[in-house]
Structure formats: structure tokens, C-alpha cells
Structure 1
Amino acid sequence: MNVFWYMCAPDGPYPWKPEGSRTVDFGYYKQLAMAYDHLGYTGALFATGAHDVWPLAGALLPYAERMKFLLAFHPGLIAPTLLAKMAATMQEFSNGRILLNVVSGDAKMLGAYGMTLPHDERYLMADEYLTVWHRLMAGETVTQKGRYFETVGARLALPVGSTIAPPPLWFGGSSEAAIDVAARHVDTYLSWGETPDEMGRKIEQVRARAAHYGRELSYGIRLYVIVRETDAKAWEAAADLFGHMDEAAIAANQRFVSNTDSVGQQRMSRLHGGVKPENPRDLEIYPNLWAGIGLVRPGPGTAIVGSPDTVIRTLEAYQAVGVETFILSGMPLLEEAYRFGELVLPRLDLSRPEAAAAPKAPARTYTWSTLFDRDLSGNRIDG
């Protein structure tokens, strides 16, 4: 089992409202990175948000010795050759701890960056984009004039494929077009917050499509988690979150996710319909799986709620249908990372990354003159 924690603003005990938010700056990110690394999480998801993931991850590398960095990116916003160069650089500097999460997003969000392709065409573009990516990562020189990208003599200077391993690709998307791109190109398929039964059916669908292309994938899911010493205390914590979900916050989130062309977001929104019931348990869509967070937060809106035994039992239910990787979070990120890390993580059969070895300097031949005729400032020494 791989367990990742989340790394993105906003954060706080009730981050959908100003008085429930905390400042998320570089000092706070350092605390998160050191906590995740110390607690033994497999890695962290650097999601697209207020801060750009590339400078953030680069700045945090010195503060995490073991954990992997799963970096989200949008195909087409930068050229595939530039992405490959950035990823190879990060992979070298991190000693092979970089993973990439392919995010096609939705039309409203991508429009802000100048991308106006309709839904299915975004995946046609992603298919071409990732084809160029794979060729570059294989060490090829790429010249092609495609429908979306024209590349002339592109090649990576860094030795990717020999001394630098290509970063594995992860991908989330629920539409037919998305599943086809995942089956053709990526290593790990991710989904949002479905029940174990729904997740099992989706895995079978993706697995069959991947087999059509002669490939096998691994599978992961993104969820919130509310864990306390007992089930009753966990549901009290969920009820506390629920009590802070006011009409203004719910309406603001529903406006944000309305008219989205993201199939995954549409599925999450249908779990609650944008309506807050009187009893938070009315949004329990599966034993100890709660859809309430989706009222005020976009993206994956379901949380596992319960004691450590209940949480582990639910994780194992997902594992039984083929899920190997869990990307989890709680609110606030720091406190809940420690809570889960101390109550649940030690009891899991976790794939724990080893500490990254320091990079070795290339071998160099020294002569007597290079060793002795100049001092440390580069000044020549006589005698």
C-alpha cells in the first residue's frame, strides 16, 4: 500500500471560510514536508492551486529525504519538450523521487490560461503531448508536425533512461476519452472518492482498456479522512465540520463547480446535489464514507470517517478491488497528517521509501599541480 498526503492551499480547520483559514506560506509548507517525511508517508501530492508546483517542490526538496513528490501539470500549457526538461532536472536533483500527475482539468479553469479546447479534444491533445513526452524520455530526437504540436530536433541533454529514470505518469479522469488516454500512456490511474464497489467497477473498465493496448496499470484513489480514537468521536468531528458549512460557503462552491465539463466533478456533485441536509449522516453514501465535504470543496468530496479500525477496514475494502495507492488529506493538513500518521499509518503494510542517497560527484583525475599549486581561493602557491 502507498499512502500519500496532500500539499496545497487553502488550509485550516474550515478553509472554505476566511475565519477558518490559515496562512499557507513557504514556512508552513516546510512544516508539512518535514512532517510527511518524518511520519513515513510514501509521498505528497503537489496539486495545482495558488502556488505553482515546480518552484514549490524544488524549494522543498532539501526538507524531505525520503518521500516522493507527485507533481500535477496540465498538458498543453507548456511545450512537451520543456516539461520533459523540467521533469528530468527535478528527477536528477531529487535522486529519482519525482512522479507526475497528468491533469486535464475543466474548461472554466483552463480558459484562464488561454486553453479553450472542448472536453474531448483536450484528450486528443493530451494523447499527442504524451506521445512526444515518451519519445523524449526514451532518449529519442523528436521531429514531428502534429495537430497540436510541432517539434523540430527536440532532445534532452540529460541522460534520461540511463542514469536518470523517467518519472512515472499518474492520471485521473472518468470520461471515455480520459480512460483511453490513461490506458495508452500512464502508469497509475487515479479516481476521486467513489465507493469501493464503484471503484472496483471503474478499475475493471480501465484494466480492460489497458489490456487492449497490451498494458497493465496500477490504481489509486483520492479521499479525505476523519480519524479519531472511536467511531463516535470521528462522527462528532465530521459534524463539527458540517456545522461550519454555512449557506454562503455552499453556494459559492456550487457556483464554482457548476457547468463544469469534468465528468469526475459531476459525479462528486451528484453525491449531495448541493443541498445540506439537517443530519450530516444523511450524506453517508457507504458505511463510514461521507460526502459532506463536497458541499464546500471542489474535487474529491468524500471522507472516510471512523476509528483507526474502521479506517483500516475501509482502506482494505478499496485494496480488495485493486486500489494500491491512497492520496489522503484532512483539515488542517498538518494536524491531521500527524493524527493519521500516529493512529493508522504504523498499522499499514506500507511501501516506505528509503532515504535518498546523496548524489555522487563524477570521478575526476587530479595531478600534483591541480592539488598543490593553488590555494582554496584559486591563488597560485609558489614552492
Structure 2
Amino acid sequence: MSNIEVLGMVGTREESEAMAADTEDGIDVDYLRRFAKAHDEAGFDRVLIGYSSTSPDGMAVAADVLNQTKKLGVLIAHRPGFVTPTLQARKVGTLDQLSGGGRVAIHHISGGSDFDQRRDGDYIDKEARYRRTAEFIQVLRQTLDSTEPFDYEGEFYKFDQAYSTVRPASPAGIPIYFGGQSPIAVEVGAKHTDVFMLFGEPLEQTAERIAVIRAEAEKYGRTVEFSLSTRPIVADTEDGAWKRAQELYDAAAARVPDAPTKALWAPGASNAAVSAQRLQELAHAQDVYDERLWMGMTKLAGPGGNSTAPVGTVEQVSEALLKYYDLGVTKFLIRGFDPLNDVIEWGEGLVPALRAGAQNRLAVGV
């Protein structure tokens, strides 16, 4: 069996850059459940549950996803600073116990948008947010692992006799994911995280980032895994895939005049994240990298983040993604511009092709 994991992302209503939501409600329960089950049936390992200052509560969404699926795991995004790490440890530990063990992971986002942070009352600067994240992860780990009460005092957190009676249900524990590309983010992630999440930059830039993060982790005697996030666009033929990319671009462009400024993907939205800024610089330099990594939606949609798209047939896209596997990426987060239908389609082609390709590389020692 290959050593890759395939992650998706569930939303609580059907929408994307190219698709307006058909409801004003923040949660379409029926859609969320169909979306989660589609990932489960398509063979995904986990789904990311995103976070913003206006979105539904991720812990509650995660609980419903776990309850509605059989094997699917969740990756719960959160921003350190709004819930104490001791409480968060009990929350994820409880979910892990209730879902059978091994299905819960947590993704730490220190916060790239000052505007979005302030909507939740957080006014500390970016550097401080990363220092707070480092403390948060330390306390979270200790709470999950400690068999005795402990004291802790740092810059942001102080606890006397912290302790949790609930711990992870499996030896794998609660995997800790992390994202960020500024120097302090690299330091924090290399020192504390299990999985470092990367946006879908071109191969050259991705290799450079992996080398930097690995070198930093080695300073602490650690190794980290890498996840890559992209938005595949697949069709039966290469021409058909590029035609679909253009159709998606046109649909998104038509939404631009009416795009709500509160949407993080909306053109002109504020995002100070280094990783998002890097993507914008690449997107404005050229439209396509490495033959099929398309930057068109990235340039149109602005600094929202994960928007680069490998375009082609199943075979072409899976091979393009496996080139990142050759660089050291073992987890692939893929989500579509037609979210639910893409997941169903990928379960029949792209997901098994990715797994088979990684297995073949293992077999021949690539």
C-alpha cells in the first residue's frame, strides 16, 4: 500500500469562486452530509474543515462529518488564541474517542489576514501570533500526553496543574498540521508540527521550500511531513480540461463585480500571509508552470490562498502531482471548483490513480 494520504475539504454550503451559493444560510445540512459521504465513498483519507471569522464552528461540523461517515477522518482548522490549548486538547481528544480513534487531526493557522483576525477581537501582530501558536502547540501536546498535572508559564499562556482525563484513543494521537511561510512561521512549524502544509507552487519553488523547512527541522532533531494543496481540473482529454479551466475562469470573472468583499477569495481582499503573496507574484509572472499548473484563477481571485490548478487528463494530473511526491510530499489536499461533483468524479479516477502511482514508485524505488 502506498504511503500517501488524500485529503479533501468539505464546506457547509455549495459554492466556490466559480459558483455562487444558492442559499443565504451558512449551513446547508443536507449538502454538508452528502459532501462528506461523497469523500468517504471516493476513498479520501481526511477532509479539511476550514476556518474564518464568519464561518460555522469547525468542531461542530467535524462531529457531524464523523457521525455521518464510516472511515473518513477530519482535519479541523482553527486559529490559536480564541480557545485555550487545554480546552482544545480536551475537545479533540473527546472527538477522537467518540469516533473510534485515528480520525481526528488539527490544523493550526496563526492568521494571515489582520482584518479577519480583528473580526474575532484579535489585535496582536503577526509575529506575536506565531509565537502564540508555538506555545499553544506545546501546551496542547502536553495536555494530550501528560499522565500527571503540570504547570506552564509562557508569554501568552499560564496554567497551574493543567490536566485532562481524556486522551487520544489510538497510539497515533492527534496529528498536528501547520501552515505559514514567513521566517518565523518556518521556525515554529519546523520545531512543533507533524505536517507542514504547502500551497501548490511550481515544482522549483516547492523544492526550495521543502529544503528550507527540512533544514530548520534538523536543527531541532526533527523531521516533518509535507502536504500540498491544489485544485485539479480534469477531463477526458487535455483540450477538454483546458476548455473547462477557461469556463471556470469565465464563471468566476462574471462574479467579480458582485463578489462580496467579506469573501477571502474576493479580488482586493486583505491577506498578509507570505504564502498567499508568493502565489500572487507567481501568478502575475506567468499563467502556467511545469506544463500544466495553471495560475489563472489565482490571479483573478486574489490572495485567498489555495487556487492553483493542475489541468489535464486523470493520467496527466496524477503524474503532475506525483512529481511533488518525488520531492517529499506525502499528503495531497485536493478540492474542486465544482466541489461535490469533482469529488465524485475523482473517486472514479484521480484518487485511485494517485495511490497507484505512488505505489508504483515505491515498488521500483523511485
TM bin (shorter chain): 0.7 to 0.9
Question: 1:72 touches 1:102 (CA, 8 Å); kept in 2?
Answer: yes
Between 309-318 and 295-304, report the one with greater CA deviation: 295-304
Q: TM-score when scaled to structure 1?
A: 0.83
Equivalent in the alignment of 2:118: 111
Q: Within 2, Cα distance between the matches of 1:108 and 1:350?
A: 43
Question: 1:4 touches 1:44 (CA, 8 Å); kept in 2?
Answer: yes
- Report the residue type matching 1:98 in the other structure: V
Match of 1:86 among 91, 113, 120: 91
Structure 2 counterparts to residues 23-102 of structure 1, below 5 A:
25-49=28-52, 50-96=55-101, 97-102=103-108
Equivalent in the alignment of 1:184: 191
Do residues 241 (structure 1) and 248 (structure 2) align?
yes
Q: Within 2, Cα distance between the matches of 1:82 and 1:243?
A: 45
Q: Within 2, Cα distance between the matches of 1:350 and 1:72?
A: 29
Distance change (3 Å), C-alpha of 1:329 and 1:163: closer
Q: Within 2, Cα distance between the matches of 1:337 and 1:130?
A: 32
Equivalent in the alignment of 1:150: 158
Q: What is the CA distance between 1:60 and its match in structure 2?
A: 2.1
Structure 2 counterparts to residues 216-235 of structure 1, below 5 A:
216-235=223-242
Equivalent in the alignment of 1:317: 323
Q: Within 2, Cα distance between the matches of 1:319 and 1:339?
A: 22
Equivalent in the alignment of 1:356: none
Say how many residue pairs are matched: 342
Distance change (3 Å), C-alpha of 1:152 and 1:25: same
Q: What is the CA distance between 1:134 and its match in structure 2?
A: 1.6
- Report the residue type matching 2:47 in the other structure: A
Q: Mark the runs of 5 or more structure 1 residues left unpaired by the alignment.
A: 276-281, 352-383
Q: Within 2, Cα distance between the matches of 1:178 and 1:122?
A: 10
Q: Secondary structure at the match of 2:269?
A: helix
Q: Within 1, Cα distance between the matches of 2:186 and 2:274?
A: 11
Q: Within 1, Cα distance between the matches of 2:24 and 2:142?
A: 44
The CA deviation string for residues 115-142 of structure 1, in whole angstroms up to 9 with x for no partner, is 1111111111111111111211221422
Q: What is the CA distance between 1:22 and its match in structure 2?
A: 10
Match of 2:269 among 236, 256, 273: 256
Q: Provide the alpha-carbon RMSD of the alignment.
A: 2.5
Q: Mark the runs of 5 or more structure 2 residues left unpaired by the alignment.
A: 358-366
Q: Within 2, Cα distance between the matches of 1:3 and 1:223?
A: 12
Q: Secondary structure at the match of 2:164?
A: coil
- Report the residue type matching 2:279 in the other structure: M
Q: What is the CA distance between 1:321 and its match in structure 2?
A: 0.6
Question: 2:152 touches 2:160 (CA, 8 Å); kept in 1?
Answer: yes
Equivalent in the alignment of 2:362: none
Distance change (3 Å), C-alpha of 1:64 and 1:20: closer
Q: What is the CA distance between 1:103 and its match in structure 2?
A: 0.7
Q: TM-score when scaled to structure 2?
A: 0.87
Do residues 308 (structure 1) and 314 (structure 2) align?
yes
Q: Within 2, Cα distance between the matches of 1:214 and 1:45?
A: 29
Question: 1:84 touches 1:136 (CA, 8 Å); kept in 2?
Answer: yes
Q: What is the CA distance between 1:9 and its match in structure 2?
A: 4.8
Distance change (3 Å), C-alpha of 1:100 and 1:15: same
Q: Within 1, Cα distance between the matches of 2:202 and 2:191?
A: 25
Question: 1:172 touches 1:190 (CA, 8 Å); kept in 2?
Answer: yes
Distance change (3 Å), C-alpha of 1:12 and 1:144: closer
Equivalent in the alignment of 1:328: 334
Equivalent in the alignment of 1:380: none
The percent of aligned pairs where both chains have the same amino acid is 25
Q: Within 1, Cα distance between the matches of 2:83 and 2:283?
A: 36
Equivalent in the alignment of 2:349: 343
- Report the residue type matching 2:306 in the other structure: P
